[in-house]
Every structure is written in C-alpha cells, then in structure tokens.
C-alpha cells in the first residue's frame, strides 16, 4: 500500500489533469483520484479563454501565465482538440489605461485605433489568445494520461492523508474542495453564470471590461458562443437564474448587435475556486499521515485555464522525488 504509484493527484479538473500529465512526462507513475468525472468539474463549464481574470500581478503568476500561453499556442498549432488561437478585443470606457501587466505574455497586444471603437468606449486592446473548448479538451487530457499508463480512480476522500493509500507523494488540486480538505477558509466560490447561444458567424472574443451593469463578455466557439457573465463571491447556488440570464443577453446584445435573435442553446453555472491571497502552490511543510510529499496547487479562481500548464510545471518541480530515476 502507498507505493502503487509514484504520485497521486487529487482532482480531475484542468489543474489536476495538466499536473498529472506533467508528472507523467517527468517519468512518474501517476494516478488521479476524483470524486466526480472531469465532465462534472467546474472546468467543464469554463468559457476557457486565456485571460488572468481578477488576478493580481505577481512575478510567478506572470511566469505561469506565459508558460501556459506558450503551451496552448503549441497545442493549437498541433491540432489538439478544442484549442484554437482566437482574436480578442478588450474594450474600456474610462481613461486610457496602462498596458496590462499580463501583456508581457503576449506577442501581439496593441492599442485599438479610434476608428475601431464605438462611441461608448474610449480605448481598448486587441490581442490573440488561446481559446479552449473544455468539452473536447478535458477528454483529450484524460485520454492522453490513460494512453501513457496513467490511472483515473473514482473515489471521494474526506482527508488528504487518505490519498497516501495510492502514493506517498500527493498533489492537492482539489479546487473548491480544498476548503474542506485543507481547512482553508480563504477558499471561496465565485459563482459564474453564462448563456450559450448559436453562433451567427462571430470569430472574435470581445470583453466589455468595465460595464457598470455587470461582467460582460462574448466568447465564440466552434458551434456556439458563451455569453457572460457574473462574478459572485461567496455564492454556492448552481441553479441558473432566469433574471440573470436575461441581463446577460441584454448586455451582450448591446455590445454586439449581431447577437440579436441568436437562439439560446443553454444555461450553465460554475463555481470558480477563488482563494483570498491568490493561488496556493507550495510544498506542505508537514505532510499529513504517511504522505511523504504534499504539494498544493489550488485557488486559481477564474484563471485556471490561463495558469494551468505553468502551475503544472511548477508543481511537478516541487514534487521532485516522485519522479522515477532513469
């Protein structure tokens, strides 16, 4: 017991699966333990466009975001399912702003010209970023892990030390679950509601960044468009609100009149795993039970896809001893 694998990852969202793949690529025998399939995780609902949503600057966060951008760009070029590079516009209503801190990760950010702006907006940015359709990408991650010998275990644990049954090195990528598993009261849900509509032919993602009426974005995908949204800290309710949906449709149609009359395909709610103080990515000084190495990788809020691969690299480096020699 405890040595069936070199490492076990707790959680099968995008953070858990990318970390498991990186550990595997470093030579470790890896299992992923999850209470629910990937299709039922918060990651499955994510609009999943690269963008450090409500994430403050830290040098390590920029590093994670840059590595993730580069990895998705490679995957898009290689035809990985669900990954494309999508033109994006971020529109602003206030005074001309400084270049965003995350611009250093992008090769093509530029200020929008006046003729590219409607009267409502005073300035903005154009750039190209990865867009990821999670209904296609999460299965690809899982299949890649399995094809290389990884194991997915459906099991609910109520204490991190229980993961020591499978391996003595554990990565905690449990997202919101970390609130209970670690007793981390800094972890809170941030409710996000979106509306899915048929795509009338739009290709560019658009963000109305400082709309006083609410969080507003339009993210086209291959067959539909994700319209958002909300950013409700501390809200656990996953039932879509009809009033909220109507407000989202109104804001997005005001932003892009081409959306008027687009058939509504569905409504979704996800709970982003926010953490006051930012991402927790560190080795635990006192691993629980018989676990020898515990690395925490959770608290990414709305930037899980944006930081996933960079955090996976960092978590793998911290696990260290889980990697098999040779």
* Cα 223–Cα 227–Cα 229 angle in degrees, nearest 5: 150
Please answer whether residues 179 and 55 qualify as being in contact, where contact means their C-beta atoms are separated by less than 8 angstroms: no
pLDDT the model gives residue 190: 96
Cβ neighbors of 165 (< 8 A, separation 6 or more) are 1, 2
Taking the CA of residue 163 as centre, how many other CA atoms within 13 Å lie in the half-sphere pointing to its CB?
34
Please answer whether residues 292 and 168 qualify as being in contact, where contact means their C-beta atoms are separated by less than 8 angstroms: yes
pLDDT the model gives residue 94: 82
> What are the distances in angstroms from CA 20 to CA 58, 64, 79, 124, 126?
25, 16, 21, 37, 34
Q: Kindly tell me the burial class for residue 216, based on how many C-beta atoms sit within 10 Å of its own C-beta (0-12, 13-18, 19 or more).
A: buried
pLDDT the model gives residue 234: 96
pLDDT the model gives residue 38: 72
- pTM for this entry: 0.95
With left for phi above 0 and alpha for psi between -120 and 50, is residue 126 left, alpha or beta?
A: beta
* Rounded CA separation 70/33 (Å): 28
**Bridging pattern class, strands 187-198 and 232-233:** antiparallel
Coil vs helix vs strand at 290: coil
Q: In order of start, what are the domains of the chain with their CATH numbers?
A: 7-319 (3.30.9.10)
Nearest to 46 by CA among 138, 123, 119, 110: 138
pLDDT the model gives residue 45: 80
* Rounded CA separation 117/124 (Å): 8
pLDDT the model gives residue 183: 94
DSSP secondary structure, 100-155, as one string? PGGGGG-S--EEPPGGGS-TT-SEEEEEEEEEE-HHHHHHHHHHHHHHTT-EEEE-
With left for phi above 0 and alpha for psi between -120 and 50, is residue 143 left, alpha or beta?
A: alpha
Nearest to 296 by CA among 273, 315, 277: 315
Beta strands in 146-292 (DSSP E): 151-154, 169-172, 187-198, 205-208, 216-220, 224-228, 232-233, 264-275, 280-283
Taking the CA of residue 266 as centre, how many other CA atoms within 13 Å lie in the half-sphere pointing to its CB?
7
- Each residue of 283-308: b (16+ CB within 10 Å) or e? ebeebbbebebbbbbbbbbbbbbbbb
* Rounded CA separation 175/304 (Å): 10
pLDDT the model gives residue 305: 96
pLDDT the model gives residue 325: 47
* Rounded CA separation 298/164 (Å): 19
pLDDT the model gives residue 321: 60
pLDDT the model gives residue 132: 97
pLDDT the model gives residue 54: 87
Taking the CA of residue 42 as centre, how many other CA atoms within 13 Å lie in the half-sphere pointing to its CB?
28
pLDDT the model gives residue 46: 78
Provide the sign of the torsion angle of the four alpha carbons 105, 107, 108, 111, taken in this order.
Answer: positive
pLDDT digits (tens, 9 = 90+) for 170-227: 999 999 999 999 999 999 999 999 999 999 999 999 999 889 999 999 999 998 999 9
DSSP state of 296: E
* Residues composing the chain: 326
* Rounded CA separation 31/165 (Å): 11
pLDDT digits (tens, 9 = 90+) for 15-37: 999 999 999 999 999 999 999 87
pLDDT string in tens for the chain (326-residue length)? 445 899 999 999 999 999 999 999 999 999 999 998 777 777 778 788 999 988 999 999 999 999 999 999 999 999 999 999 999 999 999 876 789 999 999 999 999 999 999 878 999 999 999 999 999 999 999 999 999 999 999 999 999 999 999 999 999 999 999 999 999 999 999 999 999 999 999 999 999 988 999 999 999 999 899 999 999 999 999 999 999 999 999 999 999 999 999 999 999 999 999 999 999 999 999 999 999 999 999 999 999 999 999 999 999 999 996 555 44
């Amino acid at each position: 017991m405890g040595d069936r694998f070199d490492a076990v990852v707790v959680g099968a969202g995008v953070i858990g699966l990318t970390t498991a793949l990186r550990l595997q690529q470093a030579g470790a025998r890896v299992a992923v333990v999850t209470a629910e399939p990937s299709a039922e995780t918060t990651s499955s609902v994510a609009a999943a466009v690269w963008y450090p949503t409500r994430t403050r600057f830290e040098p390590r966060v920029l590093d994670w975001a840059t590595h993730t951008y580069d990895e998705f760009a490679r995957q898009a070029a290689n035809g990985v399912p669900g990954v494309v590079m999508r033109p994006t516009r971020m529109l602003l209503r206030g005074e001309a702003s400084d270049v965003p801190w995350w611009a250093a990760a992008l090769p093509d950010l530029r200020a929008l010209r006046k003729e590219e702006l409607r009267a409502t907006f005073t300035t903005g940015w154009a750039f190209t970023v990865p867009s990821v359709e999670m209904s296609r990408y999460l299965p690809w991650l899982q299949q890649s892990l399995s094809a290389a010998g990884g194991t997915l275990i459906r099991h609910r644990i109520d204490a991190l030390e229980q993961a020591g049954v499978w391996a003595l090195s554990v990565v905690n990528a449990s997202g919101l679950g970390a609130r209970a598993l670690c007793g981390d009261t800094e972890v809170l849900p941030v409710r996000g509601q979106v509306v899915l509509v048929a795509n009338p032919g739009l290709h560019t993602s658009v963000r109305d960044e400082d709309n006083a009426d609410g969080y507003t974005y339009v993210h086209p995908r291959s067959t539909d468009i994700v319209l958002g949204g909300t950013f409700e800290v501390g809200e656990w309710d996953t039932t879509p609100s009809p009033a909220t949906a109507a407000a989202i449709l109104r804001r997005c149609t005001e932003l892009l009149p081409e959306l008027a009359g687009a058939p509504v395909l569905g409504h979704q709610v996800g709970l982003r795993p926010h953490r006051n103080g930012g991402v927790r990515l560190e080795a635990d000084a006192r691993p629980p039970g018989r676990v020898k190495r515990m690395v925490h990788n959770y608290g990414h809020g709305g930037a899980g896809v944006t930081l996933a691969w960079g955090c996976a690299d960092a978590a793998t480096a911290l696990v260290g001893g889980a990697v098999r020699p040779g």
